[in-house]
């Protein structure tokens, strides 16, 4: 269901306010494209996962690939799947982690106080302090 004109205007106002208050955060969550190395790692992880899945199934299905009662190829396939999943997930998490560290650094850095206005977090902390002092 598409948004009404009023809802679209409200959304645009919220976006403009977000860009005005914290442009680094706004640009990091704007849905931009991933960098080439991160995209490459995600694709490599997916391919490694698929290869591991094939090895897992082949190792269980083909008895000749067993050593004693242990399906060695299946175990290697599982490890490949695990490695592929970790590779793909860490390529996504590294980008978000870097963004979170920048945000933490800004929050603790007094020089990034936006000219004394304070950010959303600072305003919420001030409200909490005032409310706590009243009680």
Dump pLDDT digits (tens) for 75-90. 999 999 999 999 988 8
Residue 131: pLDDT band by 50, 70, 90 thresholds?
Answer: confident
Q: Which residue has the tokens 């919220």?
A: 14
The pLDDT value recorded for residue 53 is: 95
89-105 core/surface letters (b: 16 or more CB in 10 A; e: else): eebeeeeeeeeeeebee
pLDDT at 7 over 80: yes
pLDDT of residue 99 exceeding 50? no
Q: What is the pLDDT of residue 114?
A: 47
- Tokens, residue 72: 């060695």
Give the number of C-alpha atoms closer than 13 A to the C-alpha of residue 52, restricted to the C-beta side.
Answer: 18
Instruction: Specify the pLDDT at position 46.
Output: 93
pTM over 0.85: no
43-68 tens-digit pLDDT: 999 999 999 999 999 998 988 888 88
Domain ranges of the chain: 36-107
**Hey, what are 37's tokens?**
């190395």
């Amino acid at each position: 269901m598409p948004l009404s004109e009023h809802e679209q205007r409200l959304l645009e106002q919220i976006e403009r306010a977000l860009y005005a208050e914290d442009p680094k955060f706004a640009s990091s969550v704007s849905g931009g494209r991933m960098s080439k190395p991160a995209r490459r790692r995600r694709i490599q992880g997916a391919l490694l996962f698929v290869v591991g899945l094939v090895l897992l199934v082949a190792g269980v299905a083909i008895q000749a690939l067993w050593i004693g009662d242990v399906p060695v190829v299946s175990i290697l396939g599982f490890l490949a799947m695990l490695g592929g999943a970790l590779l793909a997930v860490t390529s996504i998490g590294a980008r978000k982690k870097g963004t979170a560290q920048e945000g933490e650094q800004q929050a603790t850095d007094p020089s990034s106080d936006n000219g004394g206005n304070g950010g959303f977090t600072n305003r919420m902390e001030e409200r909490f302090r005032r409310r706590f002092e009243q009680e």
